[in-house]
Amino acid sequence: MSVPDSEATAGLKAFAVGEDAAGTRLDQWLAAQTAPNLSRSRIQAIIRGGDVRIDGKVVLEPKSKLVAGTLVTLGMPEPEPAEPQAEAIELAILFEDDDLIVIDKPAGLVVHPGAGNWTGTLVNALIHHCGDTLSGIGGVKRPGIVHRLDKETSGVLVVAKNDLAHRALSDAFADHGRTGDLERAYHAVLWGVPPRPAGIVDAPLGRSGTDRTKRAVVPEGRPDARHAVTHYQIVEKFGGRADATAFASLVECRLETGRTHQIRVHMGHIGHPLIGDQTYGRAFRTKANKLPDDLKDLVADFPRQALHARLLQFRHPRTDEILRFEAAYPSDFAELVETLRRLPSE
């Protein structure tokens, strides 16, 4: 039974579970409530994505059994977008041949269309640059995309231009360099400095229980927990003190897994979130008040998470050649590093 709109939160549908539905599978029952708009498989994907709650608690198992008298809320998905269209967006191309294209992605560019970003993405730019041949690779919404960078993360990214390259590169990224030649390195500017020169963060990630757009370190046994491992090494410390602490640090991160927001969440988990990260490090912004006036505003107001995909190496899917690309810091990241280098050491 659907609850009147006045009792449902905007963007959600609410359904009261009657006596006749007690013991029924959640996915089966919700599919019946929403038919014909949402299929059962679509309902299952929405549940696993963390967008269904029973009496306010997220439920991730589609076959969960219903209890009479409870209230089920369903986050209604965005309508399926039309096929991405070509858009003339300038690209910084590091390499291109008939099989693949490597770009230096600027901060602010979304990789593929999604909620709130149906146009103006890298995919729209690639369809314009590469022509119709790209549109069938890797699915309609994300042609040729084998890995991604967050919107506000800059740096090296490779895109496949045909099925051969898509299969080979997808396999390489799925393996994360454990058995192959794939190598990725990110540079991040952190608040403070990790306790050791190099370390490993091995902590499973899942959807945040308080905000479905965020990720968090979660217990290993939780249904949505995903294995996540980040290796880090300190590159430089800024504003060092006699007690071996520092105001900020530049670290290199290498991923053993590729989870959403992995570096950002893992660095925050060890107490050193990225400068500029308003999602996982907002509380640290006031640390900038300790800086000299001429440095304070630039650090406090850095407009994005200070994360840059510095290095990408992989084996060419056709020629078998090892390709290696490095992207210089963009101007905002470089200015942040240079500003922090001006901090006095005690």
151: helix, coil or strand?
coil
Q: How many angstroms separate the Cα of 254 from the Cα of each of 59, 188, 229, 325?
A: 33, 11, 9, 15
Specify which of 40-44, 172-176, 201-205 reaches the highest per-range mean pLDDT.
201-205
Question: Is position 131 within any domain?
Answer: yes
Averaged pLDDT for residues 52-61: 92
133: helix, coil or strand?
helix
Per-residue pLDDT tens for 198-220?
A: 999 999 999 888 887 899 999 99
User: Distance (Å, rounded) from C-alpha 122 to C-alpha 143?
Assistant: 10
Query: Is residue 163 domain-shared with residue 118, that is, in the same domain?
Result: yes
Provide the Cα torsion 50, 55, 57, 61; round to 10°.
Answer: -50
Residue among 150, 163, 211, 332 flagged as catalytic: 150
147: helix, coil or strand?
coil
Pairing of strands 215-217, 100-105: unpaired
Question: Is position 88 within any domain?
Answer: no
Of 75, 102, 130, which residue is a domain's last?
75
User: Distance (Å, rounded) from C-alpha 239 to C-alpha 119?
Assistant: 42
Question: Is position 330 within any domain?
Answer: no
Question: Is position 343 within any domain?
Answer: no
Query: Is residue 123 domain-shared with residue 156, that is, in the same domain?
Result: yes
What is the structure's pLDDT at 7?
Answer: 37
Query: Is residue 110 domain-shared with residue 36, that is, in the same domain?
Result: no
| Whole-number average pLDDT of the chain | 88
Query: Is residue 113 domain-shared with residue 70, that is, in the same domain?
Result: no
Q: How many domains does the chain have?
A: 3
pLDDT band at 187 (very low <50, low <70, confident <90, very high): very high
Question: What residue numbers bound the domain in which 163 lies?
Answer: 93-175
Structure-token pair, residue 184: 């990725």
Query: Is residue 197 domain-shared with residue 304, that is, in the same domain?
Result: yes
Nearest to 245 by CA among 237, 257, 236: 237
CA atoms within 13 A on the CB side of 282: 2
At residue 9, does pLDDT exceed 80?
no
Query: Is residue 130 domain-shared with residue 255, that is, in the same domain?
Result: no
Is pLDDT larger for residue 167 or for residue 80?
167
Structure-token pair, residue 196: 């050791």
Per-residue pLDDT tens for 89-142?
A: 999 999 999 999 999 999 999 998 776 777 899 999 999 998 867 766 766 667
Averaged pLDDT for residues 297-301: 88
Per-residue pLDDT tens for 251-273?
A: 999 999 989 999 999 999 999 99
Q: Determine the distance from the C-alpha atom of residue 128 to the mean position of all C-alpha atoms in its chain, rounded to a whole number.
A: 25
- For tokens 């590091």, name the residue: 94
Is pLDDT larger for residue 35 or for residue 122?
122
Is pLDDT larger for residue 306 or for residue 117?
306
What DSSP line would sit under 248-295, residue for residue?
Answer: EEEEEEEESS--TTHHHHHHHHTT-PBTT-TTT-GGGGGGGGGS-HHH
Q: Is 20 a catalytic residue?
A: no
Query: Is residue 67 domain-shared with residue 34, that is, in the same domain?
Result: yes
Question: Is position 17 within any domain?
Answer: yes
Specify whether the CB–CB gap between 263 and 306 falls below 8 A: no
Averaged pLDDT for residues 79-87: 71
Query: Is residue 278 domain-shared with residue 309, that is, in the same domain?
Result: yes
Nearest to 239 by CA among 276, 201, 288: 288
Of 144, 175, 206, which residue is a domain's last?
175
At residue 82, does pLDDT exceed 80?
no
What is the structure's pLDDT at 245?
Answer: 74
User: Distance (Å, rounded) from C-alpha 247 to C-alpha 238?
Assistant: 6
At residue 291, does pLDDT exceed 60?
yes
Query: Is residue 221 domain-shared with residue 305, that is, in the same domain?
Result: yes
Predicted structure pTM score: 0.75
User: Distance (Å, rounded) from C-alpha 50 to C-alpha 247?
Assistant: 37
Query: Is residue 68 domain-shared with residue 97, that is, in the same domain?
Result: no
Question: Which CATH number does the domain housing residue 120 bear?
Answer: 3.30.2350.10
Question: Is position 164 within any domain?
Answer: yes
Question: Is position 119 within any domain?
Answer: yes
Query: Is residue 100 domain-shared with residue 70, that is, in the same domain?
Result: no
Question: Which CATH number does the domain housing residue 58 bear?
Answer: 3.10.290.10
Query: Is residue 202 domain-shared with residue 252, that is, in the same domain?
Result: yes
At residue 21, does pLDDT exceed 70?
yes
Percent of the chain topping pLDDT 70: 91
- Weakest-pLDDT range from 41-45, 143-147, 174-178, 305-309: 174-178
Of 24, 44, 75, which residue is a domain's last?
75
